Each structure stands twice: as C-alpha cells, then as structure tokens.
Amino acid sequence: AGEFGVAASGASSPASASAAPSASASASAPAMTAPAADGPTSYLALVELLESHGKMIIGDKLRREYGLVRFAPPELVLHGKPRAAERDFLASVTSALRAITGTAWNISESDLPAEPTLAEQAQMAEEAARLAILADPMVAAALGTFPGSELIDQHPLKMRSA
C-alpha cells in the first residue's frame, strides 16, 4: 500500500486485494472514504474527469498504456503495458484523483487479464464503424461502380457556421 494507496501485485487475484484488513492493519491505515455520488462511474469517465481537470498527460497515459482489470470506486486495478509499469505514475494518479474527488483512491497494478486499453477500444470501434459503412448496400454499390475507389473518411462532414 503506501501513502497514496498504491500497490503493485503479481498474479494474485483482485479478490484477495479486497479482503478485509486485519484489526491491526485497519487501525494504522488511512480511512478510505466512499466516492462521491457524482464521481466517475466507469474507467473512461475517470480518465475524462482527470483530463477535464488539466491532467492531460495522466489521462493520455491511462488511455494508451493501462487496461482495466477492475473498477470499483474508490478502488481501481489496472494492467499496464510493460513500458508503463511505473509505481510513481500510479502514485500521481492516486494523488490527482484525491485532489479532484476528495476521495482516497486505492490504485494497484495486477498481472491479471485486463480489458483492452481505452485507445485500443477506440481503435476497435473505429474499425467496426468502417466495416459497417462498407457493408451498407449503397456504399458497396458506389464502390462497385467506381473501381479503385475507397472509403477514406468515415466521419460525417461538420457543418460550418456562417
């Protein structure tokens, strides 16, 4: 654990990390407060909360390098990419969340399987959207009519204001 509630764990299960502490441990450990009712309700919302409070570097690193193992506020268990495993980084995330939410967060890293990173999820969603567009009969007909044509952007045109 530590001052910021950061812990690195090996292949132990997340359930073991949430076991009730012994009486002696709970007497010396800082009290954990429940997250505010308006706190983040998902890992993505947590990252967006950090970014909206100017913690863009922390948010970007969480998006690109950490997959979610468990989100149970105020507990967060992550699986980092090998280059991302930095204890100091997790301490900075914990500190930033405490400052923003007023809640003591317990953030740890685990070797357990995790969801894809938020960046990987966004990339998969982009690809799924692209494939759905290409599967549309009108698009398929247009591509068939113009040999060599390709879908270069799947985002709708933004309307310009006058």
Residue 121 CA, chain-centre distance (Å), reads: 10
Percent with pLDDT over 70 in the chain: 68
**Coil vs helix vs strand at 70:** strand
pLDDT at 80: 86
Residue 68 burial by Cβ neighbours in a 10 Å radius (0-12, 13-18, 19+): buried
pLDDT at 92: 94
pLDDT at 35: 47
Q: What is the average pLDDT across 7-23?
A: 39
Q: What is the residue-averaged pLDDT of the chain?
A: 78
Tell me the pLDDT tens digit for each residue of 81-119.
765 556 689 999 999 999 999 999 999 999 999 999 999
Quickly state the pLDDT bin for 61 (edges 50, 70, 90): very high
Quickly state the pLDDT bin for 3 (edges 50, 70, 90): very low
Q: What is the average pLDDT across 20-28?
A: 38
pLDDT at 151: 85
Write the DSSP string, 78-108.
Answer: EEE-GGG--HHHHHHHHHHHHHHHSS--EEE
Tell me the residue type at 15: A
Q: Residue ranges of the alpha helices (H) in 12-162? A: 14-17, 23-28, 43-52, 56-65, 87-101, 118-135, 137-145
